[in-house]
Structure formats: structure tokens, C-alpha cells
Amino acid sequence: LILLPRVVGKLSATLAFGLGKAYPVAGIRFAYALLALTGLWLTSSHSVLLTAQVILFVEVGHAGMLTYLSLRLLGEPLSFLARQFASWIPFTALVLVLALLVKAVALHLDVGGVSVLVTVCAAVALGSVLCTRIAPQLFIGDEGLWVLHRVGWPYGRQK
């Protein structure tokens, strides 16, 4: 779950740096570091799951602040971002459902933790490739098809 906010945060920070706004990014990263350390300290005597949830929450906030900064620098409204993310909802739903389903089956079969992780990763990778081949427009949209075309994927087409 943390992958999307990490990628969005990195891209937004790179854009802000490219536009010469290093100090606002540094301020956001400083706030993120303080919140993450505080969250780790507060949850240190609790479960790993609670700690992971706190860090996910802080990471989403970090990405949100960096994204807001980038949109403000570009003069774009938040609706621009919503339209971009809406196109990835089917793919995100597929990955989430597939991962939870395979995890539940693997845990029910009582295989080891590493086996569950490897099985879930393999199922998500295979499911992603199959869905990208079967219905690329639905699962990755125009931007994804453009990227696939640029890297030479046979099912990608230019926008």
C-alpha cells in the first residue's frame, strides 16, 4: 500500500526541485521525519501492524503535502490529480483483491510467511501482466498505453 504514495512523493519532490523550490521540499521532509519518528516512538511498545499503519498514514501525508506543493507550483487544481488517479482505480482494485485472496488461501494452507509473500508477489505480477494484455485500456489507461508503446511492449499503442 505504501508504494503509490512513495512514487507520488518522489515525483512531486523531483518536480519541485526542478522548479527551484528546494526549501519547501526540505521543510515538508523535515515535518515527515518528525512525524515518522514520533509515530515509531509512540508505537514501539505496540504491534508491528499498528506501527506499519502509522507509517503508512505519515507517508500518505508526506506524499499529499509534496503533491499539493507541486500542483500549486504548476497552477493546477486538485481535480487534475483526481482525474489522473481515477484511471488507476481498476488496476489498484485488481492488485488489492488478488493479493488479499492469494494471501488468505496461503495462510489457510498454513505455509510459511516467506512462502506467502513470494506467492502473493508472483500472483500479483502474473495477474497484472495478464490484465494488461487482456484489457490494457481498462487497467492502465491512455498514459499506461503510451508508456508501454515507448518501451516497446507489443500491446501498447501511442496516444
Task: Give the number of other CB atoms < 10 A from CB of residue 42.
Answer: 12
Model pLDDT for residues 70-117, shown as the tens digit of each residue: 989 988 888 877 777 777 788 888 888 888 898 888 888 888 878 888
Q: Could you tell me if 8 and 61 are in contact, meaning their C-beta atoms sit under 8 angstroms apart?
A: no
Q: Could you tell me if 107 and 116 are in contact, meaning their C-beta atoms sit under 8 angstroms apart?
A: yes
Instruction: Rounding to the nearest 10 degrees, give the CA dihedral for residues 120, 144, 137, 56.
Output: 40
Q: Could you tell me if 131 and 91 are in contact, meaning their C-beta atoms sit under 8 angstroms apart?
A: yes
Set of cell numbers at residue 20: 527551484
Q: Could you tell me if 12 and 69 are in contact, meaning their C-beta atoms sit under 8 angstroms apart?
A: yes
Q: Record the pTM.
A: 0.61
At 157 the pLDDT is: 53
What's the residue count for the chain? 159
Task: Give the number of other CB atoms < 10 A from CB of residue 4.
Answer: 14
DSSP secondary structure letter of residue 46: S
Confidence bin at 28 (pLDDT 50/70/90):
very high
